[in-house]
Amino acid sequence: GGLRVSQGEAGKPFIFANRAEMLSISALDPVFTKLEGYSSLQLFGCFFVLLTGLRVILEYGVFTPIVKRFTKGSLVPKVACECPKILYYCFTSWWATELLFTQEEPWMFDPAKAFVNFPYEFTFEFRLFYTCQLAFYWNLLLFFCFVEPAKKRGWWDMFIHHWVTIGLVSISLYLGYYKIGVSILWLHDITDIPAGSAKIFSLCDWFLGAAVSLTTALVLWFVLRLVYFPYLIARGTAYGCWIHCVKPGIFPVPLWVMFQVFLWTLVVLHCYWFYCFLHIIIDSTRDKKCQDTRLSETTVTLADGRAVSEDDVVKKAE
């Protein structure tokens, strides 16, 4: 409930009487036909349990034994915890691509048009995608805080990033504000694939794989997160949402302000992490090693004044 998907008299939004009116799913698909009667909260719960179970099985039952063949000690859980994430990012990148590029409307490259005739129909395919992503980011936040190896540097920026993403997805899901949201989730997931791969290759001491992955991540990061995201999505959202949604009274001003704060917080984090990537590449040209400074452990200063990561000290001791 609470999803406004059409307009009544005098342009005022109204809520459909039942969920069946909100869904545009083909009755020929038996799986979707069964799921379309579930609420967003029920779908979220199912996805959260499913993703948590799959992550535990893959991380501890599949990837940990494999990773032990390539590295040892404290690096094993750090590498193993990244592998299920990359698989998920590959899956959701494909899923979001299917959703985005099958649309006939040009809002992918002109985000301001995404708010014309808002509120619009929130189809079940998009609602399923949103609940899956929301469950994943809650899973990511809980594992990050309580399960994954503790991180000294980069902890707070990742913590803020997870909360901001959860806030954006939750509000978008409630309001049926899906067009821009899927674009944001798509560009995040597709750039996280090479970024996560670079971290894995770095921890396994494969310089070539880390260098190629990091370079790919740098290019995608610049194009999608530093150009497309702030100049098209964030700016188009601010203008288009204000003109088509806030001024007519469809979208409340406090939520619009909250959206802008969340979006531009992501822009700031993206700029900071891009700087980290550049720092990694500069260091790798000198030391022939790539280390993801966003999620690195605390550094240790040696007697000769050199600063090295704690992981290097552990590996030398072993």
Crossing angle of helices 207-220 and 178-203, rounded to 10°:
160
pLDDT tens-digit readout, 42-77: 899 999 999 999 999 999 999 999 988 888 788 888
For residues 222 and 135, the answer to whether their CB atoms sit within 8 Å is no
Predicted TM-score (pTM) of this structure: 0.77
Q: Using the structure block, give the residue that is written with the tokens 């008299």.
A: 9
Q: Which two tokens stand for residue 63?
A: 């990837």
- With 80 as the cut, is the pLDDT of residue 315 above it? no
Question: Quick one: DSSP state of residue 36?
Answer: T
**Cα–Cα distance for residue pair 78/149, rounded to 1 Å:** 7
pLDDT tens-digit readout, 8-54: 333 333 333 333 443 333 333 444 445 666 788 889 999 999 999 99
List, as own/partner pairs, every contact residues 141-148 make where C-beta atoms lie below 8 angstroms and the sequence separation is at least 24, other chains included: 141/166, 143/55, 143/81, 147/81, 148/77, 148/78, 148/81
Can you name the residues that pair with 171 across neighbouring β-strands? Answer: none
